[in-house]
Amino acid sequence: MVRRHIAGRGISDARVLDAMAAVPRERFVERSLSHRAYADGPLPIGHGQTISQPYVVAWMAEAAELGTGDRVLEVGTGSGYAAAVLSRLAGTVYTVERHRMLAEEALQRLSVLGYGNVRVRHGDGSLGWGRHAPYDAILVAAAGPRVPRALRDQLGPGGRLVMPVGSHCGRQRLTLERRGRSGNFKREELGAVRFVPLIPH
């Protein structure tokens, strides 16, 4: 999967490729779907939600330029798969999920698999997780019409925020925002994506 769908489609960061190769995606989907875990597509995880497409997880991780000690906020834990990948690239991953069941299942899965540097919380991720701010990077795994104010506020100087921005049901643009040292934001559009909507509580 990594050679064909990730490196093959242009992801070149060696740390990202190693992290993608190390995380057992079949452990993040139900057993009946495990034969499809290494195809490059989203898969249902219940509650109308999906585990992200591996290529998109790698793309977002590469865009966020994660360093080994970074503190990362993820919005939309889902299965916990992307959080596991991020945990291999950064220092600590704080991830927020609005579905209580998904948050509980992800926490259970991540602890069984030994991802000790991931903290999972049930709540509205569009408000961020103020307690552990500021973050070096914020990755939003659900789409909204604009970057929520609270997330910008919780990004530290020099921080990177990656989020699909656009209409809820159509296609969105994967967007990278960098926070400058003086608090200004620079925005870059990376390409077209399709995510489930970011739903406030």
Please report, as residue ranges, which positions from 16 to 45 form the binding site for ligand SAH (by CB under 6 A).
none
Pairing of strands 49-51, 155-166: unpaired
Q: Does 92 bind ligand SAH (CB under 6 A)?
A: no
Please report, as residue ranges, which positions from 124 to 143 form the binding site for ligand SAH (by CB under 6 A).
124-126, 141-142
Query: Rounded distance, CA 109 to CA 97, Å?
Result: 14
Q: Does 87 bind ligand SAH (CB under 6 A)?
A: no
Residues whose CB is less than 8 angstroms from the CB of residue 6 and which lie 6 or more positions away in sequence, other chains included: 16, 17, 20, 40, 54, 55, 58
Shortest Å, Cβ 31 to ligand SAH: 16
DSSP letter for 69, please.
Answer: T
Q: Does 65 bind ligand SAH (CB under 6 A)?
A: no
Shortest Å, Cβ 196 to ligand SAH: 5
Q: Which of 20, 49, 64, 10 shows the shortest CA–CA distance to 177?
A: 64
Q: In Å, how far are 46, 158, 194 from 151, measured between CA atoms?
A: 27, 14, 21
Q: Does 98 bind ligand SAH (CB under 6 A)?
A: yes
If the CB atoms of residues 81 and 157 are measured against ligand SAH, the closer one turns out to be 81
Query: Among all residues, which ones are annotated catalytic?
Result: 52
Binding site for ligand SAH (CB under 6 A): 49-52, 75-76, 78-79, 81-82, 96-99, 102, 124-126, 141-142, 196, 198-200
